[in-house]
Amino acid sequence: VLTGGPFRNRTSGLVRFIDPRKIDVNFVPQQEYGGGDLKRLQRMRLLPLDLDNRWQHAASGAGRQPLTTMPAVTPLFVHWAGMQNRTSMMRSYLTRRFAVPPGWFNRGRSRSQRCSALAALSPRSNPNCAAGAIGSHIEHVYQNWDDAVGPDHVRGKAKEAAAEKTFAEATSSTSTEGSWRIPDRSDDGWTVTAKFRDDVVRLIGGDAIAKSMVAVEIGTYLGYTTSFLAGAFKAVLGVELVPRFAEMTRQLLAGRGQSNAKVLQLNSFRDDFAAAADFTRAHGGADLVLVDGEHAYENVVNDLNLALFAGFGPEERKGRPRFVALDDYFVRAEVAQAALDFIQLGLLRLAGPLGSGEGMLCEVIG
């Protein structure tokens, strides 16, 4: 019997204590969990491995052992923050959650490898966890719990060089305004897809409606989506944490002659957003706020607070915009959970998905 690790959420008709080293934990990637199709999850079983073999043997008709002898183990699904193949993270989860001895795993992996990306377990609610939705307990495993993970805007030298090359090509383009192609996720993995951008305009009412609107983008990166918004909306404000990214965004916009867009370099946790609100009010108030900054849960919650309560929106809406768009809603569990928290508070409601399994548009209530 292993005494380490909380087993209070596990029940079984025949097995009181289960050795976690003999359990097949169901790690569920975000696209399965957040896509709305729960049938695959409902078919999952969680049995000790030796009994699971007999279950399959009996179910196939090859044996005579009645299925009633199989233990009624309550399944455990682990919503794995959208990451499908992070073996070290899953091992760390088993070590911390069930007290599986670290030495039980491949000794070629260091402790730091196993634990560097361990996420915090959260009891936060989710509609898919409602009674009867799946019929089992779900644990949400989030990214960015360990300081070693680092902020979203830090990446390796090779990816940095590739991104700079794409930006150089974009800013040196001599194409006319009508034919210039804005780089998207197929060119640089840190920006959104062209479909995401098009879906935003479509869901808020179409091209003509967008042309009468003001947009705010929290997290401009290199300005690709900022440039798209500047072409689609009446006025655009970009807010960027990283000074170098803010300057590159300004460079891109200037090269495109998009004078209806302004970029401010601000830290959304520390800096005063009065100048940002002044810009949007001068143009009649923001109708859309795109949240695409740091994706850690606390950052998304902070940015959603700014979107709704920093006074970006029109006066007749008491400073609230009409829409909020979130990137990586279907990719990062923290983003989806932050949005869910605001939905449960009665501040947002889902309006429709954006891109190819990427983001979500929300309507602001009130």
- Give pLDDT, residue 274: 94
- Give pLDDT, residue 76: 52
CATH class of the domain at 179-364: alpha beta
The segments of the chain whose pLDDT lies below 50 read 1-24, 30-38, 40-56, 58-59, 62-75, 80-85, 109-138, 142-149, 174-176
pLDDT in tens, 145-159: 343 445 666 678 898
Q: Does the model's pTM come out above 0.75?
A: no
- Give pLDDT, residue 154: 67
**3-state secondary structure string across the chain:** CCCCCCCCCCCCCCCCCCCHHHECCEEECHHHHCCCCCHHHHCCCCCEHHHHHHHHHHHCCCCCCCHHHCCCCCCEEEECCCCCCCHHHHHHHHHHHHCCCHHHCCCCCCHHHHHCCCCCEECCCCHHHCCCCCCCEEEEECCCCCHHHCCCCCCCHHHHHHHHHHHHHHHCCCCCCCCCCCCCCCCCCCCCCHHHHHHHHHHHCCHHHHCCCEEEEECCCCCHHHHHHHHHCCEEEEEECCHHHHHHHHHHHHHCCCCCEEEEECCCCCCCCHHHHHHHHHCCCCCEEEECCCCCHHHHHHHHHHHHHCCCCCHHHCCCCCEEEECCCCCCHHHHHHHHHHHHCCCEEEEEEECCCCEEEEEECC
For the chain, give every domain's residue range.
20-149, 179-364
Neighbours of 214 (CB within 10 A): 26
- Give pLDDT, residue 72: 37
